[in-house]
Amino acid sequence: SQTIHQWPATLVQPVGSPLSLECTVEGTSNPNLYWYRQAAGRGLQLLFYSVGIGQISSEVPQNLSASRPQDRQFILSSKKLLLSDSGFYLCAWTWGSDEKLFFGSGTQLSVL
Amino acid sequence: QKEVEQDPGPLSVPEGAIVSLNCTYSNSAFQYFMWYRQYSRKGPELLMYTYSSGNKEDGRFTAQVDKSSKYISLFIRDSQPSDSATYLCALTRGNNRLAFGKGNQVVVIP
């Protein structure tokens, strides 16, 4: 069966520090991978979307970037965090044309 | 007008009651409809998935889609305290891009 791993679960970072969140999917190949951010009262915001290695679509211009160095690995990064980057970050995947989206357990990021 | 509207107001019900949640949408191109359940500080989990108008049942859960009115609903029968969570509707045009509602917080009181 397919599983998605996301870490860390909680992260507290100072303003201006770098960020790296990692997500891996097991049990499938060539998944579509997503990064979402969930802020209180604002719903789920799609940040990045990837259909394959090195292929990244950015949905919202911002302080963040994403990379997909391997088929089942998706990384969310920032060189310098802002206060506004605080939120709950979720990795997710679908496969092929299947619309069902499966989420990881999330990372609660607090930028202080 | 937002693509998907979901009233986020918290909903408190006594144990055993029927929970009724709904979303409205504006784009008739949406073809696939989902409901997710999200516990606090956890990732959303897929609860129901449907692509046609009508009802779909899974245990105590019923998803209802009315494409003509652009309205989807989720019903939870015999609600339990373990059903206390936030419920999000999600819709897609079939392009792997989901549009989410803001979520409905449900509290089932024992």
Q: What is the pLDDT of residues B78-103, one digit of tens each?
A: 999 999 999 999 999 887 889 999 99
Given a cut of 80, is residue A4 above it in pLDDT? Answer: yes
- Residue of chain B whose Cα is closest to the Cα of A95: B96
Domain spans of chain A?
A: 3-111
Whether residue B100 and residue A104 make contact (CB cut-off 8 A), yes or no, is no
pLDDT of residue B95: 79
Q: Assign a CATH topology to domain A3-111.
A: Immunoglobulin-like (2.60.40)
Measured between CB atoms, which of B41, B46, B103 is closest to A100? B46
Given a cut of 80, is residue B17 above it in pLDDT? Answer: yes
Instruction: Of A67-71, B46-50, B92-96, give the lowest mean pLDDT range.
Output: B92-96
B75 band by pLDDT with thresholds 50, 70 and 90: very high
Whether residue A41 and residue B8 make contact (CB cut-off 8 A), yes or no, is yes
Do B14 and B109 contact (CB within 8 A), yes or no?
Answer: yes
What value does the mean pLDDT take over residues A8-32? 95
CA distance A86 to chain B (A): 14
pLDDT of residue B32: 93
A18 band by pLDDT with thresholds 50, 70 and 90: very high
Q: For B24-43, how does the pLDDT look when each residue is reduced to its tens digit (9 = 90+)?
A: 999 999 999 999 999 999 99
Sign of CA dihedral B72, B26, A87, A94: positive
What value does the mean pLDDT take over residues B51-63? 94
Could you give the CA distance from residue B34 to residue B109 in angstroms, rounded to a whole number? 26
pLDDT of residue A61: 66
Whether residue B46 and residue A101 make contact (CB cut-off 8 A), yes or no, is yes
Domain B4-109: which CATH class?
Answer: mainly beta
Chosen from B98, B104, B105 to mutate, greatest number of chain A CBs within 10 A: B98
pLDDT of residue B94: 80
Instruction: Write out the E strands in B1-110.
Output: 4-5, 11-14, 19-25, 32-38, 45-50, 54-58, 61-66, 71-76, 85-92, 98-100, 104-109
pLDDT of residue B96: 80
Given a cut of 70, is residue B1 above it in pLDDT? Answer: no
Torsion of CA A96, A98, A104, A107, to 10 degrees: 80
Name the token pair of A26: 């097991």
Determine contact: A29 vs chain B, CB below 8 A.
no
Residues of chain A with C-beta less than 8 angstroms from the C-beta of B49: 99-100
Instruction: Write out the E strands in chain A.
Output: 3-7, 10-13, 19-26, 32-39, 43-52, 55-58, 65-70, 73-78, 87-94, 102-103, 107-111
pLDDT of residue B8: 75
Measured between CB atoms, which of A92, A99, A105 is closest to B42? A105
Domain spans of chain B?
A: 4-109
A14 band by pLDDT with thresholds 50, 70 and 90: very high
What value does the mean pLDDT take over residues A10-39? 95
Determine contact: B85 vs chain A, CB below 8 A.
no
What value does the mean pLDDT take over residues B11-28? 96
